[in-house]
Amino acid sequence: MRISELSRVSGVPVPTVKFYLREGLLSEGVRTSPNQAQYDDSHLQRLRLIRALVGAGGLSLATTREVLRQVDEPAELTLAVLGAAHAAVSPDRPEDVDLTPAVDLLRRWGWAACLTAAATDPGQVDDALAALAMAVTALAEAGFEIPVDTFDTYADAMMQVAQAEIARIPTESADAAVRYVVLGTVLAEPVLLALRRLAQREASAARFPPSSEQP
């Protein structure tokens, strides 16, 4: 297909397609003349992926490039790959984060793998651990207290989510596994946030039902 057809089918405007080509996010098509190229289904799928990362994922162009690099150049699937996927979508953090609030919670839950990673190389602070520490500190500074048993509920729910996700990692190839981990990390988090808000709405309706009395 020509670039105009690729644009029509993907829903991505031609100038945007050309921008992705210039930025190297989308590979060049097969040249049929100095000013024309043909594109195939792989370009269409790539465009849809880029749109999902930038749109639903809310990623910057630089972060999208890093995520795509991990998908295109997969290393062996290890915990490091999961960490790299997390790092690609984590906001910048200060260098001097006090990890104590997060470490205390991990010890309470017995999350040994996370604690081991934190202790092995303190100079390379895990982004997720730092994010948890910063979030807990922000709650305390705002005077908003979340009871410890509520944190326990959060941890139990997230462990169920994580176990379900990890169990679905494909094992037929490293490429497929890395793609699943990276894209699942990026694209599933907005789903989890949306579901939490919808669940809150349902729980609120159950606790605070509308009055049946007519005014």
- Widest CA span in the chain: 75
> With 0-12 CB in 10 A as exposed, 13-18 as middle and 19+ as buried, what is 162?
exposed
Q: Please give the domain boundaries of the chain with CATH numbers for all domains.
A: 1-56 (1.10.1660.10), 76-207 (no CATH)
Place of tokens 């915990």: 79
What is the structure's pLDDT at 93?
64
pTM score above 0.75: no
Question: pLDDT per position in the chain (215 positions), as tens?
Answer: 899 999 999 888 999 999 999 998 898 889 888 888 999 999 998 888 888 778 766 678 887 887 787 777 766 555 555 665 666 656 566 678 888 999 999 999 999 988 886 665 554 457 788 889 999 999 999 999 999 999 999 999 999 999 998 888 887 766 677 678 777 877 888 899 999 999 999 999 999 988 755 54
CA–CA dist 92, 107 (Å, integer): 25
Residues 6+ apart with CB under 8 A from 187: 52, 53, 56, 57
What is the structure's pLDDT at 172?
76
What is the structure's pLDDT at 135?
93
